[in-house]
Amino acid sequence: MLSDGTADRFDDTPPEQPPRVKDPCVFVVIGAAGDLTKRMLTPALHNLAASGLLPERFAIVGVDRVPMTTDEFRQRIAQAIEDSEESPFDHRVWGPYEGRLHYLIGDLREKSVGQQLRALLSGVDEKSGTAGNYLFYLAIPPSLVGQTVTQLDEASLAREDGPGWRRFVIEKPLAHDADSARALNRQINSVIQEHQIYRIDHYLGKETVQNILVFRFANGILEPVWNNHYVDHVQIMVAESLGVEQRGEYYEEAGALRDMVPNHLFQLLAFTAMEPPISFEAEAVRDEKLKIFRAIRPLSHEEVLTHTVRGQYDEGLINGERVPGYRKELRVASGSNTETFAALRLHMDNWRWSGVPFYLRTGKRMPRRVTEIAIQFKRAPDILFRGTSINSTPPNLLVIHIAPEEGISLRFDAKVPGPVVRTGPVNMDFRYRDYFGTTPSTGYETLLYDCMNGDATLFQRADMVEAAWTVVTPLLDVWETLPARGFPNYAAGTWGPTEAASLMQRDSRRWRHV
């Protein structure tokens, strides 16, 4: 054991030197004055710099309508890093980069701003040696994405028809429904090519999510039982204790289903259910994820009523503090029918998972924040224990913990010591911090690093986005045609409406108790 209590796993093997980004580049943030840049992007860049994972020739250009000088922008970024809990500020690390931060006031919907940005980037290339490689991070509302890409193209900044590469990072929501997903993809792909687009989902920046593939495919004891012969069902949960905060206007348009299911939950579903790819190359992994989305059995309008549940939180207690109901939140309609909770039962029409239900649930104002994947195995036959004090044996349970604690646990039964045959549950727990320590992280470090290296493995492709929305759109159609009755139907600080429990009970199952 090491002095900090962690296991000594590496013996005398010298540590590997971390690889650096291959190409120099300019990180261009469109919407640089926004909350995402402050809370996530700049602390993540600081962490990459501290790990030696930024290019030696690197610069940052911020673009926004907010009036600000370059010096003020530099101070703002430094303050954001200092204020971040996930990025301990180190001036020795960040100092060399401060002089490479630049700011442009403007709205890229105006043609003149695109020309100003082109001139600025040309100067940055000459000064910082960034070779015309530009990574555009579109930290803007989705309604502006298509138009922004078009304006960048008109400024000769989008296409890769000269020296240097051009890459575009797009945040969710990537659409509103299946039709809008197809329309947005057509609009973007008319300007830039698919290999230039990085549709980001910050959930995939978490170590445990990335570890699912290694956990499944690098351990020979797991793959043989990872199928419908041994698995009874799978539960995927993303619960939040927070309400909608200052996002009432957005949430009124989106709701829990649009906000969480076709992106976050479906990404977790795909990693859990996909077939082994032929390699860890980006297209091989993404091909297998696409097959999962296309294998999900479509729900008829009648099945939507029996396979899905929606809810909206009322006032209640969170950590002993009384919080308002959704309809009392800022910029939310007093009679809103927007759901803040969604639960689904899905089935897949493929050989591996035929007959295995996948239960998904997500909600706001839950008792605690937790994201996990629970694989419950089929119960062992009890004939061996007839005539003993054991009435039945509980099923084995494998839980992949994603947030807030990252790790994996396995529950099985063991005999309790003594002359009488009795069993008791045993939990084997692996926690990342116990084995590998903790590293400051916002969840964006790996994703930004991959973007700069041109590795699209953890990013969604256009056909994946469209396939996911094709599954979700029938639910949206039914829910919009038949407004919810009885909203609000669960108190803040509870695990959702009673109908969600009934969804499981009809299958003689129940949600995992967290």
Which residues lie closer than 8 Å to 314 by C-beta, 6 or more apart? 325, 326, 488, 489, 490, 491, 492
Residue with tokens 């401060």: 98
The answer to whether the beta carbons of residues 475 and 301 sit under 8 Å apart is no
Which residues lie closer than 8 Å to 511 by C-beta, 6 or more apart? 235, 237, 359, 361, 495, 500, 501, 504
Computed from CA positions of residues 448, 451, 453, 458, in that sequence, does the dihedral angle turn out positive or negative?
Answer: positive
The answer to whether the beta carbons of residues 256 and 342 sit under 8 Å apart is yes
The answer to whether the beta carbons of residues 139 and 41 sit under 8 Å apart is yes
Q: How far apart are CA 304 and CA 478, in angstroms?
A: 7
| C-alpha torsion 396→235→455→50, nearest 10 | -80
Coil, strand, or helix at residue 412? Answer: strand
What does each C-alpha distance from 76 to 28, 63, 138, 139, 418 come to in angstroms? 16, 14, 19, 17, 65
Which residues are marked as active site? 264
What's at 450, amino acid-wise?
D
Phi first, then psi, for residue 282 (nearest 5°) are -55, -50
In terms of Cα–Cα distance, which of 206, 271, 202, 203 is closest to 406? 206
Alpha helices in 274-391 (DSSP H): 282-295, 301-307
What does each C-alpha distance from 429 to 77, 207, 235 come to in angstroms? 39, 16, 19
Phi first, then psi, for residue 502 (nearest 5°) are -65, -30
Instruction: State the DSSP H helix or E strand holding residue 374, giving kind and residue range, or none if neither.
Output: strand 370-377
